[in-house]
Amino acid sequence: MGSFALAIDEKSWVSRAQEGDAAAFEAIYNRYERRIYAFIYRLMGNSEDAYDLTQDTFVKAYTALPRTDADLNLSAWLHRIAWNACMDVLRRRKLIRWLPWETFDTNPALEPAASDDPVGDYTQAETSGEVQVVLDKLMPKHRTALILKEYQGMSCDEIGDVMSLTRSAVKSLLFRAREEFRQVYLGYYKHAPGYEPDAMSEIEGEETGSHAQL
């Protein structure tokens, strides 16, 4: 089914759910429950929180849906509810420190262009368990941005909808998140994302041998 048809389906479901149609909301739940669970799991790092907060997200969505616009971006809206629920829990557990967004320099002209993607390198080269180890060590907002981009496949505009940020602020946040990911990965695994130590040793050995022959 094409994206246009999916969008039409979602608008119909939202409109009907706003009028109290339980079957329409069930259709929304069935489409997004696994995506929201995966998003929360990667943010929180454990299945118990992921299950509880996924249910909480859809309860809140069901309650709030009659007060929303019919043309809302359903995916971004649900992810935003989920993100807020996660941040509330982390704040109560005193695992995050709230900072105003003004403390981040969001001028993309001041950021060098990202020529590579350490998260993409990582997810292609390593196991999901190792990915989670690194993600768990990132600042929550960095972790959120990377998960939305790399796992949920969202555009900068959609991430902005979830996190209430401008497009330029999202780009700046992603740059900082990728850099933190790279540094945490390097500190934890002692090699760059996408490169196994043995492979690097072989490359260095080949280079050393070729130099010796010169």
Q: What are the structural domains of the chain?
A: 3-92 (1.10.1740.10), 114-213 (1.10.10.10)
Determine the Cα–Cα distance for residues 130 and 193; give it in Å rounded to an integer. Answer: 11
Maximum distance among all Cα pairs of the chain, rounded to whole angstroms: 78
Phi, psi of 191 (to 5 degrees): -155, 160
Q: Which of 138, 100, 98 is nearest to 118 (CA)?
A: 138
Q: Which residues of the chain have pLDDT under 70?
A: 1-8, 95-129, 192-214
Contact 44, 89 (CB under 8 A): yes
What 3-state class would DSSP assign to 123? helix
Given this model, what pLDDT does residue 45 score? 87
- What is the residue-wise DSSP string for 78-109? HHHHHHHHHHHHHHHTT------GGGS---GG
Q: What's the pLDDT tens digit per position in 20-48?
A: 999 999 999 999 999 999 999 999 989 99
Rg of the Cα atoms in the chain: 20
Contact 102, 165 (CB under 8 A): no
Given this model, what pLDDT does residue 9 score? 83
Given this model, what pLDDT does residue 114 score? 41
Phi and psi based region of residue 153 (left: phi greater than 0; alpha: psi -120 to 50; beta: remaining)? left
